[in-house]
Structure 1
Amino acid sequence: MTGRAPRTYVVGLLAALMATALWGFTFLGPAAVAPVNVYYLVVGRYAVFGVMSLAVLAAHRGGLRRLGTRHLLLALHLGVVGYIGFYLLLSLSAQAGGGVLASTLTGLIPLLVTLASNATEKVLPWRRLVLPVAAISAGLLLVNGGAPHGRTGDGDVTAGVVLGFLACVAWSYFVIVNRVALNRVRPAAGNATWTACIGLGAFGASLFLLPLARSGDGPSPFSDAGTLRSFLLWCVALAVLGSWCATWFWNIASKRLPATVMGPVIGMEAVFGAAFNLVWEGRAPTFHELWGGLLVIAGVLLGSYLFNRANTPDDGHRPPTGEEAPAAGATGRSAEEPGTHAPARSGGRLPPGKR
């Protein structure tokens, strides 16, 4: 067997990168519709996402029946926690402690996902995760450390830190539980059905943000025809690209990659978001933005390389174990039975009750 990455792994990695790029695109939303209250944007975006999801479920009624009530409720709650819960907690963190603090805390997401996933899947020895995680964390801190440090006078740093950490936990929970759920429900429900159920959950929860939209700062998108037209176009773009397509690609990756790899890849969301904003602002990156982004990319590539090596047999460096056949045909045991060096997506998992 060569050291070349399996096709399934390559497809999963490309899908994960595409998802993070589309999520990074959504970072443009608040600036694009300013000074409209951002909560209106959230409700509008997920209203479009919800309508799309209803249309898909109407066309895939058989898949919805096969999904079952239990898994349907699981997908709905993932939409609530992963989309609305994360965004609301992050917004409250920014209000309490400042936008720089909230943005910097999102650097915990790759770390939380990677550590939690490796604790359950045992893909890599812990010492091998130190370098890629450190590179990604340093890169994200460097990018945010170069931003202007501003905070309102009545801000509460402690509350900002707590809310920001809870936001990171919410998104990390979505990444890990979504992957576990997808591996349990397939092939009963297709990717489109699962994505649509998540969309319905996000839409339903977004309706609770309407009071915040009406009472928050910023004008309504209905103030004039020009503002409304631009607002609706951005709602559709964010829903189609940043919600539907991004979730669809992420679900593809979730079926093919261990979350240990997907954790570092999440760090690319910040890089893509910064790149889109640079294009939007029409300027070159600062020193901190450039080298911080390069550190994140290096950490993602290193994590991917280490995982690929961990799943490529190396007879010259890996001693045989009692579970492996000493010679071809000597025992008749499969190389992918429990206890052997099988790919992480099919081995190394705890029973459902231990997750």
Structure 2
Amino acid sequence: MSSSKTLLAGLANGVMAGALWGIVFLVPQLLGDFSPLQMAVGRYTLYGLLSFFMLAPRWRIASNSIGKAEWTALFWLSLLGNIIYYVLLAAAVPYIGGPATSLIIGFLPITVLLVASRDHDAVPLLKLMPPVLLSVLGIVLVVSSAWFKADPSGTTQGLHSVFDYCLGIACATGALLSWTAYSVMNSRWLMKRPGITGHDWSLLTGVVTGAQALVLGVPAFIIPGSTGYPAHSGADWFRFWGICAGVAVFSSIIGNGFWNKAARLLPLSLSGQMIVFETLFALFYSFLWERRWPTGTETCAMVFLVTGVLWCMSAHKRHAYS
């Protein structure tokens, strides 16, 4: 496959992954009466079960191709990229809203870029500074906009207080750092193990994540009064497991499969840029849910983020042919 076709194929897979991952930002809105840990455990328990059944017919072949180092990597990838990331994301949304949370996590291309700039074949960081600064400006705009909505004396425009706002920002930032570590580690392991398909790697990650979710199910569901959330009816639990199943199938299994293909086709410093599509789709879904148009500040932030990513892609294409 030519360099140009590889770039386009990687971009297409990145867009599809973003469209499916963006759905997860709606889940805290749909399941606001459940704790973030319960949401994560529900989603990833089902993700693990589905992954195991899909991998079962060729389990011996897939598992024999990896050793202790790969299992250790899968453990940390599952913890960072799934459990920790999603608990922090789900905790941030009620405090600062879906749009602000998705835009903060949309800073991921910059954090990945800073890490990947040390790779020997990476585009020189100096050439990427203009689009990086443009993306930074987009994030600053949305964070500052949300800050001015916070009322130190109480609640306003959906925000609880400045303390709650800061807590939400901290959770979103923690999710960003967790996903940065996952994105870098995952891309490098996929490059080191070309004999393992992206789909199998995703399913193996799902199996490990499911095992972790089962352990966390004890404090999430079994220990009385551990969540601080009200009791739920049968209809509430039906809604909970239905939404978790949908997210497990579309966002975790199918979305991760697209992402692993993108990570294998694109250099690390560019694959990280693809996360902007998760941000854009998350914003689109959030605006539909809130039944409103984006504000002027949010529109500018989106324009800056997209322009920054396209600019980075152009820099990578020039670098590949230079």
Do 2:104 and 2:172's aligned partners in 1 also have CA atoms closer than 8 Å? yes
Aligned to 1:338: none
Do 1:107 and 1:141's aligned partners in 2 also have CA atoms closer than 8 Å? no
Higher relative contact order (Cα pairs below 8 Å, separated by 6+ residues): 2
What CA distance in whole angstroms lies between the structure 2 residues aligned with 1:258 and 1:112?
A: 15
Aligned to 1:353: none
Do 1:79 and 1:200's aligned partners in 2 also have CA atoms closer than 8 Å? no
Do 2:96 and 2:165's aligned partners in 1 also have CA atoms closer than 8 Å? no
What CA distance in whole angstroms lies between the structure 2 residues aligned with 1:182 and 1:191?
A: 7
Aligned to 1:216: 227
How far residue 143 of structure 1 moved from its aligned partner, in angstroms, is 3.2
What CA distance in whole angstroms lies between the structure 2 residues aligned with 1:104 and 1:282?
A: 18
Aligned to 1:202: 209
What CA distance in whole angstroms lies between the structure 2 residues aligned with 1:90 and 1:224?
A: 25
Work out whether 1:111 is the aligned partner of 2:120: no
Aligned to 2:33: 35
What CA distance in whole angstroms lies between the structure 1 residues aligned with 2:292 and 2:89?
A: 26
Work out whether 1:192 is the aligned partner of 2:199: yes
Q: 1:89 to 1:229 in 2, by over 3 A?
A: closer
Do 2:78 and 2:206's aligned partners in 1 also have CA atoms closer than 8 Å? yes
What CA distance in whole angstroms lies between the structure 2 residues aligned with 1:228 and 1:156?
A: 29
How far residue 255 of structure 1 moved from its aligned partner, in angstroms, is 0.7
- Gap runs ≥5 in structure 1: 314-355
Moved more, 189-198 or 238-247: 189-198
What CA distance in whole angstroms lies between the structure 1 residues aligned with 2:39 and 2:172?
A: 21
Do 2:36 and 2:88's aligned partners in 1 also have CA atoms closer than 8 Å? no
Percent identity over the alignment is: 25
Paired AA for residue 190 in structure 1? T
Do 1:76 and 1:200's aligned partners in 2 also have CA atoms closer than 8 Å? no
How far residue 210 of structure 1 moved from its aligned partner, in angstroms, is 4.5
How far residue 126 of structure 1 moved from its aligned partner, in angstroms, is 1.7
Work out whether 1:8 is the aligned partner of 2:6: yes
What CA distance in whole angstroms lies between the structure 1 residues aligned with 2:170 and 2:33?
A: 28
How far residue 88 of structure 1 moved from its aligned partner, in angstroms, is 3.4
Match of 1:263 among 272, 287, 296: 272
Do 1:104 and 1:141's aligned partners in 2 also have CA atoms closer than 8 Å? no
RMSD, matched Cα: 2.7
Aligned to 2:289: 280
What CA distance in whole angstroms lies between the structure 1 residues aligned with 2:169 and 2:31?
A: 27
Q: 1:265 to 1:135 in 2, by over 3 A?
A: farther
What CA distance in whole angstroms lies between the structure 2 residues aligned with 1:88 and 1:162?
A: 12
Aligned residue for 2:67, secondary structure, equals helix
Aligned residue for 1:67, secondary structure, equals coil
Work out whether 1:225 is the aligned partner of 2:225: no
Aligned to 1:322: none
Work out whether 1:175 is the aligned partner of 2:183: yes
How far residue 285 of structure 1 moved from its aligned partner, in angstroms, is 1.5
What CA distance in whole angstroms lies between the structure 2 residues aligned with 1:164 and 1:278?
A: 19
How far residue 284 of structure 1 moved from its aligned partner, in angstroms, is 1.6
Q: 1:88 to 1:38 in 2, by over 3 A?
A: closer
Aligned residue for 2:65, secondary structure, equals helix
What CA distance in whole angstroms lies between the structure 2 residues aligned with 1:252 and 1:126?
A: 25
Paired AA for residue 273 in structure 2? P
What CA distance in whole angstroms lies between the structure 2 residues aligned with 1:33 and 1:50?
A: 21
What CA distance in whole angstroms lies between the structure 2 residues aligned with 1:65 and 1:54?
A: 15
How far residue 217 of structure 1 moved from its aligned partner, in angstroms, is 3.9
What CA distance in whole angstroms lies between the structure 2 residues aligned with 1:91 and 1:264?
A: 23
Aligned to 1:49: 47
Do 2:25 and 2:90's aligned partners in 1 also have CA atoms closer than 8 Å? no
How far residue 89 of structure 1 moved from its aligned partner, in angstroms, is 4.4
Quick check: which has more Rg, 1 or 2?
Answer: 1
Do 1:136 and 1:264's aligned partners in 2 also have CA atoms closer than 8 Å? no
Correspondence 1:246-261 to 2 at 5 A: 246-261=255-270
Correspondence 1:37-186 to 2 at 5 A: 37-61=35-59, 62-90=61-89, 98-99=95-96, 105-147=104-146, 148-149=149-150, 150-152=159-161, 157=166, 165-186=173-194
Do 1:11 and 1:253's aligned partners in 2 also have CA atoms closer than 8 Å? yes
What CA distance in whole angstroms lies between the structure 2 residues aligned with 1:25 and 1:161?
A: 20
In the superposition, the TM-score normalised over structure 1's length comes to 0.76
In the superposition, the TM-score normalised over structure 2's length comes to 0.84
Aligned residue for 2:66, secondary structure, equals helix
1:217-250 C-alpha deviation (Å, 9 max, x unpaired): 4335xx2232222222211111011111111111
1:56-100 C-alpha deviation (Å, 9 max, x unpaired): 2212221221223331332232111211122334566779xx537
Q: 1:75 to 1:202 in 2, by over 3 A?
A: same
- Gap runs ≥5 in structure 2: 151-158
How far residue 103 of structure 1 moved from its aligned partner, in angstroms, is 6.0
How far residue 128 of structure 1 moved from its aligned partner, in angstroms, is 1.5
What CA distance in whole angstroms lies between the structure 2 residues aligned with 1:154 and 1:143?
A: 18
